[in-house]
Structure 1
Amino acid sequence: MDVDHQTLSLGEFEFACGETIPELEVAYETYGEFDGDNAVLVCHALTGSAHVAGRGRFEDSDQAFAWWDNIVGPGKAIDTTEYYVICVNDPGSCYGTSGPASTNPETGEPYGTAFPPVTVGDWTEAQRAVLDELGVPHLHAVVGGSVGGMNALDWVKRHPDHVERVVAIAAAARLDSQCLALDGIARRAITTDDDWNGGDYYGDDRPDPDDGLALARELGHVMYLSKATMEQRFGRRAATREYERAFPTDPAGRFFPYRDVESYLDHNATKFVDRFDANSYLYLTRAMDNYDLSSGFESDADAVAAFDGEALLMSFTGDWHFTTAQSEELAESFRETDTATAHHVVDSDYGHDAFLVEPDRVGPPVADFLADGVGGSAVSDTTDDDDGDDGPDHAPVHTSLFS
């Protein structure tokens, strides 16, 4: 697979909050060859990176794992022999793009919490600037999952004339109050860690707020799995003897078993703190929490009204982070503007992370939609819809949910 990993300077950059930094460095990767009209922008999720595909290339670094290698690549759903795929690391992150851990060129010290607050809109504008530098004026499609799906929706809102097709997977127009609450607790876990030190913990002589970041990540993992999947995978089993507790416990806790589910969360959190920055976690979760598709417009439909392409929304029945009902609301907003729209509901118990781990269910609709729009055989059905015609204007959805 032809892959190019680069870092680009966009010069002075003004964020939506009105603050500027003298130089925004942006890490990005491209896959395949550009032929003028085959560009596909992939927007990564919260703690992802530009390294969307190509396992094994960053084994010795802290770069995020090739997080969608089962979807992006030669002969895969987003086929890099047909499409020119671009993935850009978001401002505020810690995988090559400027963020709190980056050095402020004016002081020679890490920005820390002096880095400007970031928004999903800032991600979109940074991506647009990278595409301009690459000579890509127009996108065949923009694709994203989770908050990456929000980023994809933001493209339709901000640059409707630059996109032919949009794919938002396991996403929503905004977070609900339960998710806002859990994200708030996760941030408190970080900011109440004594080692956070007001965000000033960089340097060899200072410990990182690993315990707070680990707890924040554990909350995230609970949000990404469904109740059914957690029961199937862990139940009430105790962890096997070789697993040691990753966190201290009270003396009475030694009398009780260290559960398999606790061990799983602790293990993944321990790996995560080795590769991610606590301040970046604060910044990125706030960007996600703040996003509202309708901001600046009267409604979600009004926000996407200028888009005249096609839209695919995909959701998973076991996902309580971004629900099928929220995806259907998005689909209805697109339909209000007469946009050719499909809402593909996947019957899955896995939970929110299904878009990452179930390629056999995600890949076919995405591939067909990129090739043929809502008329793709794996995207739309051919049964009579509520509107009385035989056309495939609605994707396969569970009638028990939406009819």
Structure 2
Amino acid sequence: MKTDSGTVDLGRFDFASGDEIENLEVAYETYGEFDGDNAVLICHALTGSQNVAGYGSETTGQARAWWNDIVGPGKAIDTNDYYVVCANVPGSCYGTTGPASEDPEGEVYGTDFPPVTVADWTRSQRLLLDELGVGRLHAVVGGSVGGMNALDWAKRYPDDARYVVSVAAAARLDAQCLALDAIARRAITTDPHWNGGEYYDRDEAPTDGLALARQIGHVMYLSKASMEGKFGRRAAGRDARRDSFPSDPAAAFFPYRDVESYLDYQAEKFVDRFDANSYLYLTRAMDDYDLAEGYEDDAQAVAAFEGEALLLSFTGDWHFTTEQSETLAAAFREAGAPVAHHVIESDHGHDAFLVEPEKVGPPLRDFLDSGVEGRAVHDTDADADSGPGGDFAPVHASLFSQ
């Protein structure tokens, strides 16, 4: 698999907030070879990076690429056929300019960095693709908030992609998720080491606050069933240590449970690779996104879209529910755009799009090959009145056994 990585300086960039910076650098990776009409843009999730495939990255600190089971030679997004591009979004900390980057005077931006929106991500990706010589895309694919990013392409550049795929996403967050994101941000901003976002030249960073924010996120990403199956009420092993956070004296009397140990482990890994200010910026961008902004409703927002759409949702995902995806599918139908909503039975919660590639891969592969008429995304028993490709297709074992 031919791969490339780098950083492109897009020059002055005007943010949706009205602020600007003199130089926006965007870090990216590409896989496969470009033949003029085979480019697939992949939009990463909240704390993901441009390292979507391959084997880890010194830039991101990831031991393993985040969608390695989906992207690569012979995989669902086959790099023998497609030229895959993944770009780190503005505001992140994996090579694209963000709060942890230096401004033109050599000072770290910190919270002086402009507020970022999903629209800023989309526009930066369009500009990057222009620099790479990529015009119309074969597809835009994204998961979680990356799925919102993909939807924004259908709205903002309606004739720039043949296919749009939004996986485990929605047109906007609901109130419960907004509330949990707000608590996560307060965990960071109430950490005394956050220091108003100016901690880069200090010995201590707000690692406790960031760790708590990440733990809240992990609880959001798992389903009740998956947590019960993984952890139950079991106590951690004899060698497990309860030293990640300060503990009250009475805690030693009670068991340190598997679920606590898991959350502490995930938090410890995360604070080593991610920036606290970036977490604030990116969660606010996700919370702010509303597909219908500037339009009467979602259908009007995608009315100019000239391609086809695939929505993948998971029954155990309460972060972005199947009902939210079906509402979004209805908007595409109302706008006259061919769309398939494929529901996957899963107990893995929001993380399913990352941990169950065997369920995500077949409908994704077929859609990229044949659009809404792809075998694994088309339900022949769907309501005939829903229109071409307008089916709400629950997953059946037979879809993957042929």
* Aligned alpha-carbon RMSD (Å): 1.5
Q: Which runs of 4+ in 1 moved over 6 A?
A: none
Matched, 1:221 2:218: yes
**Structure 2 residue 227 is matched with structure 1 residue 230:** yes
Q: Deviations over 1:289-309 (max 9, x none)?
A: 000000000000000000121
**1:24–1:97: 8 Å Cα contact kept in structure 2?**
yes
Q: What is the number of equivalent residue pairs in this alignment? A: 395
Structure 2 residue runs without a partner (length 5+) = 397-402
Taking every aligned residue pair, what percent have the same amino acid on both sides?
70
Distance apart, 1:384 and its partner CA: 4.9
**TM-score, structure 1 as length reference:** 0.96
1:212 aligns with 2:209: yes
After superposition, the C-alpha distances for 1:4-45 in whole angstroms (9 at most, x for unaligned) are 011110011110001111110110011111111111000000
- Aligned-pair CA distance for 1:266: 0.3
Task: Render the CA deviation track for 1:307-336: whole Å, top value 9, x for unaligned.
Answer: 121010000000000000000000000000
SS in 2 for 1:387: helix
- 1:398 positional shift: 7.3
Q: Which amino acid aligns with 1:112?
A: G
Tell whether the 8 Å contact from 2:55 to 2:63 is kept in structure 1 after alignment.
Answer: no
- Which residue does 1:276 correspond to in 2? 274
Tell me how far 1:382 sits from its aligned partner: 1.8
Aligned to 1:94: 93
Work out whether 1:15 is the aligned partner of 2:15: yes
Tell me, yes or no, if the aligned pair for 1:374 and 1:392 is still in contact at 8 Å: yes
- Partners of 2:29 and 2:85 within 8 A in 1: yes
What is the deviation of 1:65? 3.6
What is the Cα deviation at residue 395 of structure 1?
4.7
**Structure 1 residues 30 and 388: CA distance shift in structure 2, 3 A:** closer
Contact 2:339–2:389, Cα closer than 8 Å, also in 1: no
| Whole-angstrom distance in 1 between the partners of 2:55 and 2:62 | 11
Aligned-partner Cα distance in 1 for 2:234–2:171: 38
**Contact in 2 for aligned 1:63/1:95 (Cα 8 Å):** no
- Note the 1:42-61 alignment, pairs <5 A: 42-56=42-56, 58=57
**Who is 1:38 aligned against?**
38
Residues 64 and 95, structure 1, Cα contact 8 Å, conserved in 2: no
For the 8 Å contact 1:316–1:323, the answer to whether it is kept is yes
Question: Match for residue 112 of structure 1?
Answer: 110
Q: Alignment partner of 1:41: what SS? A: strand
After TM superposition, the structure 1 stretch with the greater mean CA deviation from structure 2, 262-271 or 62-71, is: 62-71
CA contact (8 A) 1:118 1:283 kept: yes
* 1:61–1:314 Cα change, 3 Å: closer
Distance 2:114 2:63 in 1: 23
Mapped pair 1:24 → 2:40: no
Residue of 192, 195, 202 corresponding to 2:193: 195
Alignment of 1:27-176 (within 5 A): 27-56=27-56, 58=57, 62-63=61-62, 65-106=64-105, 108-176=106-174
> Could you list the per-position Cα deviations for residues 113-150 of structure 1 after superposition, in whole angstroms to 9, with x for gaps in the alignment?
00000000000000000000011111110000000000
Equivalent residue number for residue 332 of structure 2: 334
What is the CA-CA distance between 1:97 and the residue it aligns to? 0.2
The Cα shift of 1:243 comes to 1.3
Task: Give the 3 Å change call, closer, same or farther, for CA 276–379 of structure 1 in structure 2.
Answer: same
